[in-house]
Structure 1
Amino acid sequence: MTWFREGEELDDEDIVSKVDYTTSKLLIRKASLSDVGTYTCKFESEDGHKVEAEFVLYIYKGPSFHDTTIYHEFLEGADGVVLCMVTGQPAVDVQWLKDKEPIPSTHRSQLTIRSVVRADYGEYVCTAKNKIAESSATFMLHVFEPPEVFISGDQHSVNVGERVAVSCNVTGYPQPDLHWLNKQNGQELDMAGRIHVLDGLLEIKDVIPADGGLYSCMAVSTSGNASRDVSIHTQPGPPHYLTVTPGPTSVLFTLKTFPINGGTPIKSFVLQWRKNAIEKWEETIVAASDVLAITDLRPYTKYTVRMAALNNVGRGQFSIENTVRTEGKREPDSPAISTDQAKVEGNSFSVPLEQSDNGGSPLLHLNVKYKEEAEKSEWHKMQLPSDAKSVNLKDLTFGSDYHLEVEAVNSNGSSIPATFNFTVPEQPVSSRMTKGTVAGIVMLIFLVVFLAVDATCCYRNRCGLLMAVAGKLSRWKDPGLKKVEEGEGTTNGDVTLKAISKPRRSIQQSGVQTISKEAGHLTEVTCDKAPLTKNEKLHPTTDA
């Protein structure tokens, strides 16, 4: 007799089962869900008779929880997932409860909470049951809320000497700690002093310009940090470290450092002046980026002057009063020409300028004029802005000497001209050789060669263009010759034909005829290539 489980034979050493052959029974001790299956008993007798029987084994188990975490923490806004790991046979039915109330549609091994909120905090119970038994597991869910800060306004404007208060509230879980920070100096504020904090309220008594700026309310907890800034604005402080310089008709204010701005940028300054204590103050407002100067004053006159800064809140305190006497009117000094840095490149010239004393009145512009160092040359004039750093001249004449003059001009007149002489060198040969120049040189060379060849031809062989031109000119000068040649007209003298004493052969080769008139007689020299007569062919002679 042999026992099989799911087709595999069970031997006697199996720790799960034991076969009792006397009773033909299979004994399974401490049965578990893993013992579920189909068992077969096969019997074979000595005479070969075979019999088998099949049994199906079912094992039931009540709900059992395992690998289950019962404490969970989530940050507000995140998705929360709580697992209820439970097994049983037959299958178990799972139900979730919160505060002893069922949670609908959660009949499974997992609880999911989308976007956890503070109200989701509490105790959760997972119940599991089947037809064998019922069991439950309890879970504790904590929800942490990140800190959030609320303040009574992001910006507060207050006059110097007044009181300002800003409240701050913080929320979160666990409850965050509240701190106020002065962002000007990085110090945390406490409950004591003119600037103090009590129960989240920031209070500043008797505001001064240095109190203006940024303050921050901070919330700090284990679930995170948060902060909000608040701006406190007040009037700026008085100008310190101030220098006052008189000019002919002006007073210039110079600040080494800007005043305390009161928490918002200084946009302009109020400049005031008066001649004596019984007069009212006159004033002008100048942008902080401009020259801080009072203009249009009387020369050689004593004035009392002062200044104050302006921001979005209003005007700050005035500086201490200064008494000055204006100077006399005068023209500016000549601008300085940096001769050692002058440059000539091609037919362009540049030289740096350095501004000098403006004569107590702002410069209006610079007058520049230059001309060639040649007779009857004309001045070229131009005007530069008062802050020009250099003079730049272009399209100058190569190989020329130039004279330059520069004047500074203010409302009182012009300075003595600053002068400078410079030379533009000759233009390099390579730069003058244009295509047209090269073509002209080639044509000139060709013409010279042609004339040389033609002259050689005329001299040696009595031929060529020059010989033809000479013949034409000869005929044109003596009209009567043309008539003689054509058989017309008469002459006042005898016409004598003379032949040059040369071999006829050489005369025939020349191919040129010349007729000249000497002492009333015509002399003809001919060397035309006329065909020889019959007698000449038979009796050649050497004399003409």
Structure 2
Amino acid sequence: MEWGSCSSPLSGLAPVIREQPSNVVARRNDPATLNCAASGEARITWYRDGREVVTSTQDTRSHRVLLPSGSLFFLRVANNKRDSDAGTYWCAASNDYGVTRSKNATLTIAFLLYEFESSPESPVKGRIGDSMALTCQPPKGSPPPSLTWLRNGQLVTNSSRITVTSKGELTITRAVLEDNAMYTCRAQNLAGTREAPSVNLIVMTPPWFEERPENVTTASGVLVELICRAQGSPTPTVTWRRLDGTMPHRRAILEDHRLVLGQVTAADSGVYACEIQNEAGDASAEVMLTVVDAPKLIQKPQHTQVMAGESAELSCLVEGDPSPLILWRLPTQDRTALLIPSQKSGHVAISDDGQTLHLASTTTHDSGIYYCWGISRGGGVSAQAEVMVVEAYPPPIIGVGPKDLYITPGSVANFPCEVVSEYAAPTVTWWYRPAAHFPEVQLEQSPDNDRISLAINGALLIKHINASDAGIYTCKVTADTGYVEQEAILRVTKQSSRMPAIYPPAPPTKPQIMFVNETSVYLKWLPNSQINSGSEHWYRVEYWRQGWDEWRVADTVMNEESCIVKNLMSGNIYTFLVRAVNNGGVSFPSPWSDPVTIRSPRDPSLTIDQVRHARRRLSRPAVTLSNASAMAPNNVLLAWKFLTAGHETVEGVLVYTVSEEGIVKVATVLGSTSSSHHLHNLHPYTNYMFFLVPFWRSVEGTPSNSYSIITPEDIPLEAPNNIAATFREDGSTLITWSGLSVKKARGNIISYQITLTHNGTEATEAVGTPWLEAHGLIPGRLYTVQVAARNSAGLGPFSSPILIDFDSINNYGHQPHGSESDEDPAVIYVPNQPDWFIYMIVPLVVLLFVVTILYIRRLHRKSLTANQPVIPTHYQDTSTYPASNTINMYSEQKLWHLEECDKEYNHVSTCLLHSDQQINEYAEPRAQANDAAKPYATTALLVHTSPHMTRRPTWQNHQDNPGIPINWSAFLPPPPAHPPHHETAAGDPLRHTLSQWQCDRRTESSGFSNNTLSEQYKRPCDNTSEHTYDMYTHVTQNSNRDKFTTFNALQSRGMQTSNCISQRGMLDESLTNTSHSGT
């Protein structure tokens, strides 16, 4: 049911408030509505604070409007001193039956003040890792405002570390650097938003060194920078202090946390401290500055001109602490042509102290510029001098010559003749002739004629002139360097003509060579101080070249004190002088210039000013070598710093490496920003000195300071050699070897490692001396010895295995340690053999052995059929041998002893096993001594290595098979353990021996050809025995391993050079072929 459409059924009752007004909050000047509705046809009236509200119905100017529904509408809420809408409102509904009042409702006008009750002051600082809190109390307002926080304009939300409390407090735990920001407290209600001043939150970190200062060792007189870079929040302050002295304030500048000391001296050496500090903490770092005085050039080498064939010396005295090393650089394009003290190169020698360079028997090729470098840890100095080797000196020149004179009779004539000769003493003579077609007469001073006087300066004075004195007077100058003359005419007149005296100008100074190229020389000089600046004069240049007989005048006449003489010939030496000229004549010549060689410059593209500027800049220290560190035994890393700002005059550096032997290497490093270089291919454990030379184009500067270093050790390059063993009487064995040279040791040898091996068992011993006294070695065993050297870098390679046979040492004698003997211990070099070679050679040896036995049996049957006498075969018993170091081929590689068999070729020689021992033989018919038959041919089995032979046997220098030698004793069968009973021939043993064996030595080869042998020998043979004993040889003992001969090598050589021939039998052609095929 709608109230306006039908009448109330409750007529006669007071109205009912159907909609109660509620509290309203409104901003000033904003519209607002207080709701109120009643039943029926009630009239609505509004009251504020007990007073009726005037609406627009009552007053059209009012901003309060009563709506038809009964609500009170405010067009704009007023809030000023005259009128305010704020208050307590209620509405009253009335009709004819009564009035009904609503509940009270409050109209509140919202507001928010601008000033916060409290806010944090900027900045707020805290240490990293600490907790921080920002408090904020909002300004007064209605309704009460809410608080929020902004971080750099962005709303802050709660996280694990950041929290905004209900009271509006911002709390940060475990602060980090990312928390640094501008924080703003914001208050907000219906009346608006207010922001407190932003606060800068700073999270501070204690200071720390981004780059610590390093110890500096530098030369005096240079600029030193001590760098100290620090970081922290806030940025720390850097303070430099000197801990052991006074800071040189006048020369100390603080730039970008760097302490810059200019022109440092030795007094600046000390300890400096860099202190950094901020609100979070402080720190300090100390640095040691060591200033070493740069070398001082006490005496510079002087330019020298010398005749070819003569000697010359250049002296260069450099002093300093530490003592500098003086180097001389020769005038070649090779930058490694450096000489150190006591070094020679051709006919150039340096003295032991390095201060003198001596040139012997100079030639024109020695001409050039010699550099003297003095280098130490404190810096480097440089001086240069040019050596001019000439084949001739400039001739003399007449400085003031005679002039034509007009003299009246009775006067005095004065003809001057002053001579300049800088290389030889001149002789001045005067000559006279009446006219040009008359012969000359020499004028001499004599007591009889006092009219003529010859002055010391060469002038001629003639007194009491008469008409007969008229004529031509000539001044002739002779010297070892040349000849010159000048003449003048004397005329005798009755009337003298007096002219105003005009004197020639004074001579200028010595001309200086400013620049030289391939065709021109630029000269410069100064005028004489006696010449007035306003006087009129000019200059004349004279020059001389080798090969000329006289001085010549340049075409150009100069008004200024400089000149460029052109059209010169390259490769020649020139000397210049300058004369001043005016109307009165020519001055005395200036001092002669230094000789100069016309040559092409290194860089023709450079101008004079560019070269002069580069030389001036590079004459000062431009680079300093800061460090040299060894990265490996053969390479070093160099580091340097440029001293000049911008490095515009430095194009690169030359890195010099000088070894202790004086070997020089140079590396070019381009770039003015380069700061390091790696040097490779150095020798381990070698002392090297390094220094730098800056350069720009072809101009080189002053050497830097030097840095010396010894490269690290490396393992030894080779193994010890000359290994020998000596059996001593006390049962011990002394094993010795030779040490290594310094170059091969590559370090200090601290020990030697010796390895003894027997039957797979290995024992190792380390000793500090080049010998080992071994105990407990069991006789009868074979031991292999290897030795290696050790230094601090490690163990070097082992030597090749050396075999020690104790049985041969014990059975055949030894020499006590220290006794005199010509024989060395029995030591044999036995190289290792691969197993596969053994497996391959065994079947071949067995097959060869069987074929040999069958063939010998066949020959034996042929000899029996022919009824030829057979020479018995003898077995050599080793028990009959004397005490000597030998080896039996059938018993553990002991050598057989063969006596010398050396007879004339046309005699029958007898080869005995040993001449003074009885020989065991088989029970076979013995041949008589007179039955010796001449053999058909003889072939040498093996050349005897007698110690009395002056030449080395050919077989020791020749080896047909350079491969691994074979140990034949491991495969050949041993001799019978109990040889048959033998009989000893009565009488002379030699006669009995001749009846057993005969060896004919012939110069021709039969049955076997060996072109490398100059002599052929016949070996003992056995035509009946099944065993053929190969060869017998005596090995001369020597401790030198290189001269050792292995048993395997003897076996292989024996198989190649031996050919067995029966004394009475004759071998057919098939034997020869078989011997070759067997070989």
- Whether TM-score is above 0.5 comes out as no
Say which structure is richer in strand: 1
Q: Which TM-score band applies after superposition, normalised by the shorter structure?
A: 0.3 to 0.5
Query: Which TM-score applies when normalising by structure 1?
Result: 0.36
Query: Which TM-score applies when normalising by structure 2?
Result: 0.20
